Chain A
Amino acid sequence: MQANGSAFGGVTPRLTADFTVRRPDFCLHVRLEVGAEILVLFGPSGSGKTTTLSAIAGLIEPEEGGITLDGETVFAKGRAVRAVNVPARRRHVGYVFQQYALFPHLTALENVAYPLRGPERGVRAGELLARMNLTHVAAHYPFELSGGQQQRIALARALAAAPRVLLLDEPFSALDAAARQRMQGELLALQLELGLAVVYVTHRLEDAFAVGQRLAVMRDGRVEQVGPLADVFRNPANQHVAEIMGIPNLLRARVAGADGDGLVLDWDGLRLVVPPQDIATGSSVTAYVRPEDVKILYPDRPLVDAVRFNLASGRIVGSNPHPGGRILQVLLSNQHLIEVRHSSYTYVPLGLQVGDEVRLSLRREALVVIGQA
């Protein structure tokens, strides 16, 4: 598994960043490579995402490290390297700020024309507005525009400067769901059309899935894991990543040994079998199982092969609706809670109620060990 960004499918990196920012109460260490793609920088607030963008854009100066854009070193500092710090205005980085940072004293058209020079600037700005379907608001001031329109003006203004890389800081968080979806579609189209390198910062996993090709998970000023979105989601590198990704049913267990079926874990009295892997008996591990991989067993049917491992019994203590079904909280016999995602076509015939006893199977193949604690 890739723990940093040093390889990403053989695409030439447009942006490489490897730097350290030290503050009295915070230390940020970033290592990233971005090609012509949308890299989602994902993590809880305070994890250093915005600081990372500011350093790439040249708005703050890291204590050491290096940043290159299209092969040009725009920042270098440290032992045995010649110090370089290209000012923000010469980095050609498009930056869309969280609150858009549109110039309130300029119209939409003037905002987009801001970075342009020469007699053609009005025409060029008009073209960009047309590209964003905003010609009708060209003469409006930012405060007269809706959030989605402001967002698109900010994007058009950043693109007007012909950036080498586009940085988006929580770009669509202030928009309603419909506008967000539309903007995400437009961003994907733009990225493809212009072959842009995009770094997209968000703390919402839904946003990451909507636009992301690769995901970099940040926590406490560190990049914990970088990789294709699905990979990171399916195989979180460690417990922190799993927690940040909101993966429920994390469990801490002890390796009890191995048998013909695989590795045997002892989860506070519940025997769990996971696929064979090389972990020493006696060590403590963290594992998880996704709610949809916990199966509720029909009492009147024989156990099929897929669910014959990891049987557990418990009592339903909670039930919440979920698109296409319900999420049940089940208190297991070992006094741990587990989440079960249950589609309505099985939920309805079983007639499950809070307080009912159920038998579950934690599918062996879906029980993933993610690290030794």
Chain B
Amino acid sequence: MIWHPILLSLQVTAVATAIMLACGLPLALLLARRQFRGATFLEALVSLPLVLPPTVVGYYLLLLLGRGGPITEWFGWRSLFTWGAATLAAAVVGLPLLVLSARAAIAGVDPALEHAARTLGSSEIEVLWRVTLPLARRGILAGLVLAAARALGEFGATLMVAGNIPGRTQTLPLAIYDAVQNRDYAQANRMVLLMTVLAFLSIWVARRFEQPRRLSTLSSAAEEG
């Protein structure tokens, strides 16, 4: 009974994380390295799910995914009340955490290093791959972990677009809600404990990533002599 929500949550989180990485990294690069009209607007738009009530995000997603919405009309993807809709909801609410963290990390990379790479024969892709991303890696990973944790815990928007169908769209947070409604506190306790541990771990890992690498390498170098 408890296993299905856990597995579904992991599946939703994994796919949502992949989507966030694919969309969030280019967005972060764009916001960090290009000055263009509407940059502030784009950033506000991406950050909106951080402050909007989940029900509002869910409502917009309903419009987007529902009958007559662009996703159904143009792509023929009927996703409402499937795990696909849950995944999309999770990705949308997690995305700002990744974008903001990754953007800060990329903006922190000295442009002189990218210039140096160009004069040394690197193409723009190579500059990104060999210089910018490795140097911004820690900030990007920290953002990714937090975004994944947020996606794992997504409740409100998921409820609106995917429903709460046991065995089909019932993720861990929804299962906790159901367990409490049904006064099945033993079940609820187990799942609450699991969520708490996962959330704590992700914060801890993210903090570890954010800590400057200097100190650790400095001490290891000192040990080598």
A residues whose Cβ falls under 8 Å from a Cβ of B = 54, 57-59, 87-95, 97, 99, 101, 103-105, 114-115, 140-141, 143-144, 157-158, 160-161
**B103-134 toward A: CB 8 Å interface, digit per residue (1/0)?**
00000001011011111111100000011001
Q: Are A114 and B117 in contact (CB-based, < 8 A)?
A: yes
A66–B155 Cα distance when bound, in Å, is 61
Q: Are B135 and A95 in contact (CB-based, < 8 A)?
A: no
Most buried by A among B113, B117, B119, B122: B119
Q: A97-B112, A101-B112 are in contact. Are A140 and B119 (CB under 8 A)?
A: no
Q: A99 is contacted by which of B112, B119, B135, B218 (Cβ under 8 Å)?
A: B112
Is B37 in contact with chain A by the CB < 8 A criterion? no
B129 to chain A, nearest CB (A): 12
Chain A residue with Cβ nearest B120: A115
Chain A residue with Cβ nearest B131: A103
Task: Find chain B residues with CB under 8 A from A94 CB.
Answer: 119
Interface SS of B by simple majority: helix
21 of the cross-chain contacts (CB-CB < 8 Å) are: A57-B119, A58-B119, A59-B115, A89-B119, A89-B121, A91-B119, A92-B121, A101-B116, A103-B116, A103-B117, A103-B135, A105-B134, A114-B117, A140-B221, A141-B217, A143-B218, A144-B218, A144-B221, A158-B120, A161-B119, A161-B120
Q: A93 is contacted by which of B119, B214, B218 (Cβ under 8 Å)?
A: B119
Q: Are A97 and B117 in contact (CB-based, < 8 A)?
A: no
Q: Are B123 and A89 in contact (CB-based, < 8 A)?
A: yes
Q: A101 is contacted by which of B110, B130, B214, B218 (Cβ under 8 Å)?
A: B110
B35 to chain A, nearest CB (A): 15
Task: Find chain A residues with CB under 8 A from B218 CB.
Answer: 143-144
Chain B residue with Cβ nearest A88: B118
A95–B131 Cα distance when bound, in Å, is 17
Task: Find chain B residues with CB under 8 A from A157 CB.
Answer: 120
B106 to chain A, nearest CB (A): 14
10 smallest CB-CB distances across A and B, nearest first, come from: A115-B120, A88-B118, A101-B116, A95-B119, A101-B112, A89-B121, A105-B134, A115-B121, A59-B115, A57-B119
Q: Are A88 and B115 in contact (CB-based, < 8 A)?
A: yes
Q: Are B113 and A88 in contact (CB-based, < 8 A)?
A: no
Q: A101-B113, A105-B134 are in contact. Are A59 and B119 (CB under 8 A)?
A: yes
Task: Find chain A residues with CB under 8 A from B130 CB.
Answer: 114
Task: Find chain B residues with CB under 8 A from A103 CB.
Answer: 113, 116-117, 131, 135
A53 to chain B, nearest CB (A): 10
A143–B113 Cα distance when bound, in Å, is 15
Task: Find chain A residues with CB under 8 A from B119 CB.
Answer: 57-59, 88-89, 91, 93-95, 158, 161
List 12 additional contacts besides A114-B117, A160-B120; criterion CB under 8 Å. Answer: A59-B115, A88-B118, A88-B119, A89-B120, A89-B121, A90-B121, A94-B119, A95-B115, A101-B112, A101-B113, A101-B115, A143-B218
